[in-house]
Amino acid sequence: MTTITRFAPSPTGRLHVGNIRTALHNWMLARKAGGRFLLRIDDTDAARSREEYVEAIRADLEWLGLEPDGEERQSERLEKYEAAFEALKAAGRVYPAYETAQELELKRKIQLGRGLPPIYDRGSLKLTDEERAAKEAEGVVPHWRFRLDHEEPIRWDDGVRGLQKFDPAQLSDPVIRRADGSWLYMLPSAVDDLDMGVTDVLRGEDHVSNTAVQIQMFTALVATRYSGAQMPRFAHEALLVGKEGKLSKRLGSLGCDAFCERDIEPEALVAMLARLGTSQPVEPIADRAKLVEAFDLSTFGRAPAKFDDTELDRLNAAIVHQMAFEDVKDRLPEGMDEAGWHAVQPNLTHVSEASDWWKLVTGPIESCEFSPEDSAFLAAAAQALSWSETPWQDLTATLKQSTGRGGKALFLPLRQALTGMDHGPDMKELLPLIGEAEARARLERAAS
């Protein structure tokens, strides 16, 4: 059976880092098995869904290099949910419920006050036909709930958490349809997974109780409408937390747009999120094939996965240090060629910093104050400068012999005079880019 995974965001906002990690892991799971990765836009909430967010989701996945093998939109599949709903209603697995939001909240408070779990008491299921007719005669429009079967425990072997067991009597019958006829998440998601042949559902551990409910939905749908269909396998990964170890609201707003603004490479973000929360080391691996080959749900842990910005910057620097000129040439300052990129690359944390370092070549540079002894030394350097394939090595060798200087006393004044800084790219690579005439002029200005 072909492995089929799906990423199913709601277009009610931008993707955040937790969504991105879920999408990545589903993409990797599919690619590891040679299967298919689907994008499903869960846009049944017409009041909150925005087309601009649909476009943003597509753009974010493209930036990350997570190209889906197909796309579906729930808003275009409403007739399928209607048919499934009618089949479940005919089988007695859905029922109308008439309580208002205020009445339900009061029930929850009473149950909590009595030390009981705040689950729905099935009050509407106990109504007689006459009582339901009276409600509707009063103009009360029902919402609809899925009736859980309380006879057998709900079990599944979770790909991350192992054997899971739920007592359905301790779960509320979930609302699947609002009074206005619109759909909530549960039923459309189950219908889509069966209809699209999804084999693996990998999502956050906050969906574990949803899975328990949906397993019964899958069973009921197979019995009533999708005969012969296979229920997906389920895996629930630990959620992301900040480096302080607490759930961070900031992570809920940290998305691809924020990473782009910080000039984070998508390869760095992918390398980090691919293994975050697993027993495998987080390494600056730019080759997606290597990450996919090592992907294994058995390495995922139960502890919260800690997202650390400092670690991301470290990974980004390591990724930038691997990048070829051809990969970045369109993002570099005017005039910077491959030699220029190679010279500044080891000093970069982000590609955008290349512009600042390139100013050491194009000028102007900051002026430094030198002692009389260093000024005399720089004047000698200007006279000793001769151009060859290795001008820096030749200049320093000549000055070392003629002045007796070595180490910091030899190299630092030269670097300061030539670049205006006391640190930076390797001068062996930088000096040829500055050029003979400009280098001599800078030495002479510093000496004077």
Q: How far is residue 30's CA from residue 364's CA, in Å, rounded to a whole number?
A: 52
Element (H, E) at 154: strand 154-158
Give me the phi and psi of 298, to 5 degrees please: -65, -15
Task: Report which residue type is found at 160.
Answer: V
Which residues, in sequence order, are bridge partners of residue 162? 158
- Tell whether omega for the bond before 364 is within 30 degrees of 0, i.e. cis: yes
Distances (CA, A) of 388 to 256, 431, 433: 47, 11, 12
43 Cβ contact partners less than 8 Å away, ≥ 6 residues apart: 10, 11, 49, 54, 73, 74, 75
| 312 contacts 268 by C-beta, under 8 angstroms | yes
Mapping DSSP to helix (H, G, I), strand (E, B) and coil, where does residue 36 land?
Answer: strand
| 348 contacts 321 by C-beta, under 8 angstroms | yes
The DSSP secondary-structure symbol of 278 reads: B
Structure tokens at 179: 């009074």
Closest to 123 (Cα-Cα) out of 135, 112, 113: 135
- In angstroms, how far is the first alpha carbon of the chain from the final one? 78
Closest to 308 (Cα-Cα) out of 242, 247, 248, 253: 242
279 Cβ contact partners less than 8 Å away, ≥ 6 residues apart: 299, 301
The Cβ of residue 227 has, within 10 Å, a number of other Cβ atoms equal to: 8
* 249 annotated ligand binder: yes
Q: How far is residue 284's CA from residue 275's CA, in Å, rounded to a whole number?
A: 11
Q: How far is residue 226's CA from residue 195's CA, in Å, rounded to a whole number?
A: 8
- Tell whether omega for the bond before 153 is within 30 degrees of 0, i.e. cis: no
Q: Are strands 162-166 and 154-158 parallel, antiparallel or unpaired?
A: antiparallel
Q: Which residues are annotated as a binding site?
A: 249
Q: Which residues are annotated as a binding site for ATP?
A: 249
